[in-house]
């Protein structure tokens, strides 16, 4: 008797399953197919990005080799091509590299223009935008030192990670603009800034002593 009841129970469960499958089976299949497709897409995308990153790394190294060999123009062109073809951090790094190479080849205007673009690009993290501003000012400081002082002012805040470098550039710009007293004051503050790198503080102290003579 027990076997009979078990068989009846199994038949009932089988019938219930068949009815449920007839009603919902197509949705289950669709969901399974979708999950497989999504998994395949994600896996394919990851493999593609991995190959792309490897290829970009090879291109970046080749451009860096050109720069090391003194072939600055071709190196700068290669870095700029990478910047256009890439996105995110790779594009930003390529633009920084291109600007650096242009500076080495004596193209101050070209270097400053790229740094200005990096500084104005809101997609870059603030720390990179501020660094680009510092590097741009370095190439434009002689041309308009007063404008350089104004542009550096937001970066001289103690909370800014680049504030020590910004202060040193500010003092230099003040000197170039003929404001010796302002430069000496800026150098004095930098020499006393315990958060500044020791080398920067030492240079500032030397400038304070030199300007006081």
pLDDT of residue 189: 94
Per-residue pLDDT of the chain (213 residues; tens, 9 = 90+): 444 445 444 544 555 545 554 555 455 444 444 444 444 444 544 554 566 666 677 787 888 888 888 888 998 898 899 888 877 778 888 888 888 888 888 899 998 999 999 999 998 889 889 989 988 988 888 889 999 999 999 999 999 999 999 999 999 999 889 999 999 999 999 999 999 889 999 999 999 998 886
pLDDT of residue 62: 83
pLDDT of residue 92: 86
User: Could you identify the residue written with the tokens 């068949």?
Assistant: 18
pLDDT of residue 23: 58
* Helix, strand, or coil (residue 157): coil
Contact indicator for 78, 62 with CB cutoff of 8 Å: yes
Percent of the chain with pLDDT over 90: 31
Cα–Cα distance for residue pair 8/4, rounded to 1 Å: 6
Contact indicator for 148, 173 with CB cutoff of 8 Å: yes
pLDDT of residue 148: 92
User: Domain segments of the chain: what residues?
Assistant: 1-128, 141-213
pLDDT of residue 103: 87
How distant, in Å, are the alpha carbons of 17, 55, 79, 83, 90 from that of 86?
53, 11, 10, 5, 6
pLDDT of residue 156: 94
pTM for this model (two decimals): 0.71
pLDDT of residue 142: 86
The 10s digit of each residue's pLDDT in 28-79 is 444 444 444 444 444 544 554 566 666 677 787 888 888 888 888 998 898 8
């Amino acid at each position: 008797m027990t076997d009979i009841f078990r068989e009846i129970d199994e038949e009932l469960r089988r019938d219930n399953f068949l009815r449920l499958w007839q009603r919902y089976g197509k949705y289950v299949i669709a969901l399974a197919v979708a999950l497989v497709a999504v998994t395949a897409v994600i896996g394919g995308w990851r493999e593609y990005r991995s190959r792309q990153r490897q290829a970009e790394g090879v291109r970046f190294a080749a451009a860096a080799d050109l720069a090391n060999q003194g072939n600055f123009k071709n190196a700068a062109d290669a870095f700029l091509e990478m910047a256009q073809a890439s996105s995110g951090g790779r594009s930003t790094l390529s633009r920084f590299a291109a600007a650096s190479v242009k500076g080495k080849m004596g193209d101050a205007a070209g270097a400053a223009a790229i740094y200005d673009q990096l500084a104005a690009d809101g997609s870059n993290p603030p720390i990179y935008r501020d660094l680009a501003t510092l590097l741009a000012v370095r190439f434009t400081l002689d041309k308009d030192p007063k404008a350089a002082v104004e542009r550096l002012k937001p970066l001289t805040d103690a909370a800014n990670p680049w504030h020590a470098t910004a202060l040193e550039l500010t003092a230099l710009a003040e000197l170039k603009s003929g404001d010796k007293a302002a430069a000496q004051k800026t150098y004095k503050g930098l020499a006393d800034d315990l958060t500044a790198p020791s080398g920067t503080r030492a240079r500032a102290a030397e400038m304070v002593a030199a300007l006081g003579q």
